[in-house]
């Protein structure tokens, strides 16, 4: 973990061109956000946010990919989301108990910009459009988590894994062919099942020619079949 200044995060005015939320800010408001802001470089596997620690910053991933997850009992984790560049994260704790309610770990070499929570709150008070966008952003995440809750509690294992693969296809890679940035264990942590169950169901999907696997490479051959498995639960 190294503090850096990269060409991807020179100032918040740069994010004005990259993040839809920052495009709503005036030059003065961008200066407020930029005050005390810093960027940190993380190697794969390093912790960006630790669940339960003091929430002092809102963050933007500027490079790489990270997993956002809940730390459960007996080291059983539940991955809620994969974070791509220019997505804000920080969580409800910024506006409630000032604690992070989840952990974030870099899946590959990544950089993240840390913006002081006090500065974010100051801008929210003066810019109703930005405040509404923050609310919309948080509500969209909540709605996605509600959908995940239904999947994880009411679907059988094939339906849960199908949902995870459809999420990777539609939300992360926007492609039916992609290289997994996570392990089989982490696929299980996204689908609420063991690594062994993930491996078995992937082999079943492959034997039914629904997808093709080669190492970390996934090629979804029959998207409609995967969607049908998801619907059947």
Query: Which tens digit of pLDDT belongs to each residue from 51-72?
Result: 999 999 999 898 999 999 999 8
Q: Is the pTM of this model over 0.95?
A: no
Helix 184-191 vs helix 195-207: crossing angle, to nearest 10: 100
Q: For residue 136, what are its two tokens?
A: 């919309």
Q: With cut-offs at 50, 70 and 90, classify the pLDDT of residue 190.
A: very high
Residue 144, by phi and psi: left (phi above 0), alpha (psi -120 to 50) or beta?
alpha
Which of 110, 138, 166 is the C-terminal boundary of a domain?
138
Residues 115 and 216 in one domain: no
Average pLDDT in the 28-50 region? 92
Domain that holds residue 214: 152-232
Which of 138, 172, 194 is the C-terminal boundary of a domain?
138
Give the model's pLDDT for residue 188: 95
Q: What is residue 54's three-state secondary structure? A: strand
Which residues, 6 or more positions from 102, have their beta carbon under 8 angstroms from its beta carbon? Answer: 49, 51, 68, 69, 70, 71, 80, 91
Residues 160 and 123 in one domain: no
Q: With cut-offs at 50, 70 and 90, classify the pLDDT of residue 2.
A: low
Residues 7 and 86 in one domain: yes
d(CA 44, CA 143): 29
Q: For residue 61, what are its two tokens?
A: 């991933």
Q: What percent of the chain has pLDDT over 90?
A: 63
Q: What is residue 230's three-state secondary structure? A: helix
Give the model's pLDDT for residue 91: 75
Residues 120 and 59 in one domain: yes
d(CA 180, CA 231): 23
Residue 22: HSE in the Cβ half-sphere, 13 Å Cα cutoff: 23
Helix 223-232 vs helix 157-167: crossing angle, to nearest 10: 130
Q: Is the predicted pLDDT of residue 187 greater than 80, yes or no?
A: yes
Residues 129 and 178 in one domain: no
Give the model's pLDDT for residue 148: 84
Which of 113, 138, 163 is the C-terminal boundary of a domain?
138
Q: With cut-offs at 50, 70 and 90, classify the pLDDT of residue 142.
A: confident
Residues 123 and 164 in one domain: no
Question: Please, which residues bridge with residue 63 across strands?
Answer: 111
Residue 147, domain member (yes or no):
no
Q: For residue 17, what are its two tokens?
A: 């061109």
Residues 157 and 134 in one domain: no
Residues 133 and 180 in one domain: no
């Amino acid at each position: 973990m190294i503090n850096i200044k990269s060409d991807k995060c020179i100032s918040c005015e740069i994010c004005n061109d990259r993040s839809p939320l920052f495009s709503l800010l005036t030059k003065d408001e961008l200066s407020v956000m930029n005050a005390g802001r810093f960027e940190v470089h993380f190697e794969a596997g390093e912790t960006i946010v630790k669940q339960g620690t003091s929430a002092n910053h809102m963050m933007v991933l500027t490079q790489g990919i990270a997993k956002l997850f809940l730390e459960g009992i007996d080291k059983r984790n539940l991955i809620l989301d994969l974070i791509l560049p220019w997505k804000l994260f920080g969580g409800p704790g910024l506006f409630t108990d000032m604690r992070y309610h989840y952990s974030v770990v870099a899946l590959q070499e990544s950089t993240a910009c840390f913006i002081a929570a006090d500065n974010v709150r100051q801008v929210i008070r003066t810019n109703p459009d930005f405040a509404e966008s923050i609310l919309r952003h948080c509500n969209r995440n909540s709605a996605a988590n509600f959908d995940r809750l239904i999947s994880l509690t009411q679907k059988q294992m094939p339906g849960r894994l199908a949902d995870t693969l459809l999420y990777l296809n539609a939300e992360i890679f926007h492609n039916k062919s992609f290289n997994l940035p996570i392990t089989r264990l982490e696929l299980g942590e996204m689908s609420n099942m063991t690594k062994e169950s993930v491996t078995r169901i992937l082999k079943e999907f492959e034997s039914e020619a629904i997808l093709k696997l080669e190492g970390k490479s996934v090629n979804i051959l029959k998207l409609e079949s995967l969607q049908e498995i998801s619907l059947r639960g």
